[in-house]
Amino acid sequence: MVFPSAAVFSPDGTQAVVSIRAYDNKDRWIVRLDWETAGVQVISRQRDEAWVAGPGIGFAMGTGTLGWLPDSRHVYFQSEETGYSHLYLYDIQSGQQQALTAGNFEVFDPQLSRDEKFWFFTSSEEDPGLRHFYKMPLMGGKAERLTSLKGNNEVSLSPDEKHLAIRYSYSNVPWELYIQEAKAGSKAKKLTSGQSEEFQAYSWYDPEIIRFPAQDGAQVPARIYRPDPEKKMAQLSFLCTAPGTSKMCITGGPPIFGSLCFTTCFVSRAIRSWISTTVLRQAMAGIGARAFIATWEAKTSPIRWMAPGISWR
């Protein structure tokens, strides 16, 4: 059984593509509809024995990232064929596929500029635990990073694309709103201050980001909260699988506000004899398919899966 998406038509209305997913989520096809033969032409197929997923891939009958360039000749889409979700073009006339982005990182929410000469997208290129906003020429080339705040930058472009509205957080900094010119090197201006002066004055714990190998060798990121080194240490590992963590990056602020208070209190006051490792299951969105799949295994066998992290030093 398969799930086809709605057809996505070219700007000139003469061609259309459809995303098709297998019921078991192990296959995803992107096909061009052939009007003459009433058939389809496969332009991209992705298969994974675990499941096909990741940024821009889509789910069920959704298309994910899928569309046409203004020339009605090139189809753009995202694929994890390299193990990381990247942006691709397919030339309908030549049958050639071109990777617009490549490397050990992932691309999120690509969109065309108003003049259709550039791409805007979020990426984990600098580090799997960070999210920055980029601008890139339409047919590929060097991507220019526009944001500079270290952590998680969720960006919305202004209608004229001259400014960025940035929802920003860090591992020990709750979400705040910033505005910035849409130019590399521009300084972001803070617009909101959602915490009291007392809250802001407190030294909230900034966890160290570590990576440990899962049983299949995938490098899994986690936050480690270290207590007073003079105290005798035991270890508590916490697997974060709560709703709301699905878009979390490892350095981003807590989706559940109380967790920031809990972890700081846990380390500095309440139980100083413990060391805590927080593993974020969905943090894998920026680190590639293999690590994401490795963390998902925790849902069915958390103790076995987390053993390497518990023994990490």
Q: Which of 97-101, 215-219, 263-267 has the highest mean pLDDT?
A: 97-101
112 and 186, same structural domain? Answer: yes
User: Using CA atoms, how far apart are residues 33 and 69, in angstroms rounded to an integer?
Assistant: 17
Listed residues 46, 63, 98: the one ending a domain: 98
Confidence of residue 303 (pLDDT cuts 50, 70, 90): very low
The pLDDT of 32-50, averaged and rounded, is 92
Listed residues 199, 228, 259: the one ending a domain: 199
Residue 307's φ and ψ, nearest 5 degrees, are -50, -45
Supply 300's token pair. Answer: 């069915």
The pLDDT assigned to 207 comes to 79
User: Using CA atoms, how far apart are residues 87 and 93, in angstroms rounded to an integer?
Assistant: 19
The pLDDT assigned to 253 comes to 60
pTM of this structure: 0.83
237 and 225, same structural domain? Answer: yes
168 and 223, same structural domain? Answer: no
User: Using CA atoms, how far apart are residues 136 and 119, in angstroms rounded to an integer?
Assistant: 5
Three-class secondary structure of residue 138 per DSSP:
coil
The pLDDT assigned to 278 comes to 57
250 and 157, same structural domain? Answer: no
- The region of weakest confidence among 24-38, 207-221, 257-271, 294-308 is 294-308
272 and 220, same structural domain? Answer: yes
Which of 266, 250, 243 lies closest to 171, judged by CA? Answer: 250
160 and 216, same structural domain? Answer: no
The pLDDT of 142-154, averaged and rounded, is 96
Percentage of the chain lying above the pLDDT 70 cut: 71
User: Using CA atoms, how far apart are residues 172 and 252, in angstroms rounded to an integer?
Assistant: 8
207 and 181, same structural domain? Answer: no
45 and 30, same structural domain? Answer: yes
Whether residue 267 has pLDDT greater than 80: no
Contacts of 18 (CB under 8 A, 6+ apart): 4, 5, 6, 7, 8, 30, 31, 33, 40
The pLDDT assigned to 206 comes to 82
305 and 211, same structural domain? Answer: yes
Number of domains in the chain: 3
- The region of weakest confidence among 195-199, 221-225, 242-246 is 242-246
Domain extent at residue 113? 104-199
Supply 38's token pair. Answer: 């009433």
83 and 108, same structural domain? Answer: no
Listed residues 56, 80, 98: the one ending a domain: 98
87 and 6, same structural domain? Answer: yes
Report CA-CA distances (Å) from 36 to 9, 16, 39, 41, 204. 16, 13, 8, 12, 64
120 and 29, same structural domain? Answer: no
The pLDDT of 215-233, averaged and rounded, is 70
Confidence of residue 202 (pLDDT cuts 50, 70, 90): confident
